[in-house]
């Protein structure tokens, strides 16, 4: 998938951002979540940071999960200062490492307290093929395998907060460009990091459906969402031409985080578990002329592969 494919998906967002915002209700963003425990991955910058700050501003106890201790400590301090909420904690974890994710999950399990909201925000667009020390393609390791492992291991703690528990996974509109594929590590042809990112995000949407189906009796809501194309470090670093072309027109990180926070605040009866959301509304997961819907039947096989890779 080339940058031109992303461009074609992005163009309508110039107008959608303005039109959709007209229908936003201010009362939907005023809720308080005092004392609820929220975990946000990839929270030292961009949409993850804006999400963590927004949740902390509403009274939540927020755990920001970051790979870099230095950047994580700076983000924690900044959030505490901006919100006046001292219940912002830093957890160091490299989401691309299954060992790291398992260690992090064990620390949370040792607390033996409910987790109300898990935001799977950590994401990566690595244009060149890189392999982790555990032998996995880097984009896949962060966007899919690490996200899957984190969610699976946090389920027992989410169950403890069943009335309010929810998992929100930050995906992208780039999912519309590709079906679900079982070639998880892009071995079938010459590597394309941008296409791999879109494929990974399609897996996230299908996983969200699967988690919702598998946990209907556990009181946990599962939602994926498209934040809109925002001017974040991920986009500016990994898609510099795209970022330059659209400078001044991309969404801010706060605008990208808006629907994440909205999903965290809404009563669960108003949301559809397994749904894909964009600008505070459920959105289609497939475009009719691209015929991707049938590909989601592959998710059972993919879950089996992920379970085996994560050694759960």
Does residue 159 contact residue 165 with C-beta atoms inside 8 Å?
Answer: yes
For the annotated catalytic residues, the residue numbers are: 197
What pLDDT is recorded for position 6? 46
What pLDDT is recorded for position 55? 98
Query: Whose CA is closest to 262, among 274, 240, 248, 277?
Result: 277
Over residues 142-184, the pLDDT tens digits come to 999 999 999 999 999 999 999 899 999 999 888 988 999 999 9
What DSSP state is assigned to residue 252? P
Does residue 91 contact residue 68 with C-beta atoms inside 8 Å?
Answer: no
Instruction: Name the percent of the chain in helix, strand, coil, to the closest 5.
Output: 50, 15, 35
- Phi/psi for 117 (5° steps) reads -140, 125
Looking at CATH, the fold of the domain delimited by 3-310 is given as Rossmann fold (3.40.50)
Least confident of 3-17, 113-127, 288-302: 3-17
Over residues 213-259, the pLDDT tens digits come to 999 999 999 999 999 765 556 555 555 555 555 555 677 889 999 99
- If one compares 118 and 228, the residue with the highest pLDDT of the two is 118
- Which residue intervals of the chain are DSSP H helices? 3-10, 13-21, 46-57, 69-83, 98-111, 138-140, 147-159, 193-214, 233-238, 240-245, 253-265, 299-310
**How many CB atoms sit inside 10 A of residue 295's CB?**
16
What is the chain's mean pLDDT, rounded?
89
Is residue 13 scored above 70 in pLDDT?
A: no
**Rounded-to-10 torsion of CA 153, 40, 292, 185:** -60
What pLDDT is recorded for position 192? 93
Between the alpha carbon of residue 274 and those of residues 142, 225, 270, 282, the distances in Å are 21, 10, 13, 10
Is residue 306 scored above 50 in pLDDT?
A: yes
Give the pLDDT band (50/70/90) at residue 288.
confident
**Rounded-to-10 torsion of CA 165, 252, 66, 263:** 0
Least confident of 202-206, 283-287, 302-306: 283-287
């Amino acid at each position: 998938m080339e940058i031109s494919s992303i461009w074609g998906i992005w163009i309508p967002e110039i107008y959608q951002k303005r039109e959709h915002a007209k229908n936003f209700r201010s009362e939907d963003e005023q809720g308080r979540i005092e004392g609820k425990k929220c975990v946000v991955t990839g929270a030292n910058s961009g949409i993850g940071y804006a999400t963590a700050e927004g949740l902390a501003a509403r009274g939540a106890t927020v755990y920001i999960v970051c790979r870099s201790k230095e950047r994580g400590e700076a983000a924690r301090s900044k959030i505490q200062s901006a919100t006046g909420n001292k219940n912002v904690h830093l957890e160091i974890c490299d989401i691309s490492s299954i060992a790291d994710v398992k260690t992090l999950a064990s620390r949370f399990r040792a607390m033996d307290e409910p987790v109300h909201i898990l935001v799977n925000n950590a994401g990566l667009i690595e244009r060149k093929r890189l392999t982790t020390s555990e032998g996995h393609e880097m984009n896949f390791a962060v966007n899919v395998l690490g996200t899957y492992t984190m969610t699976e291991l946090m389920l027992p703690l989410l169950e403890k907060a069943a009335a309010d528990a929810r998992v929100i996974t930050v995906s992208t509109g780039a999912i519309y460009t590709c079906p679900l594929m079982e070639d998880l590590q892009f071995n079938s042809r010459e590597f394309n990091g941008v296409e791999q990112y879109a494929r990974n995000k399609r897996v996230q949407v299908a996983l969200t459906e699967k988690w919702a189906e598998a946990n209907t009796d556990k009181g946990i809501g599962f939602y994926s969402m498209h934040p809109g194309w925002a001017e974040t470090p991920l986009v500016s670093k990994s898609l510099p031409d795209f970022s330059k072309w659209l400078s001044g027109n991309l969404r801010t990180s706060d605008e990208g985080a808006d629907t994440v926070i909205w999903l965290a605040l809404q009563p669960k009866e108003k949301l559809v578990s397994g749904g894909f959301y964009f600008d505070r509304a459920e959105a289609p997961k497939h475009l009719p002329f691209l015929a991707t819907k049938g590909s989601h039947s592959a998710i059972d096989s993919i879950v089996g592969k992920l379970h085996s890779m994560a050694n759960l």
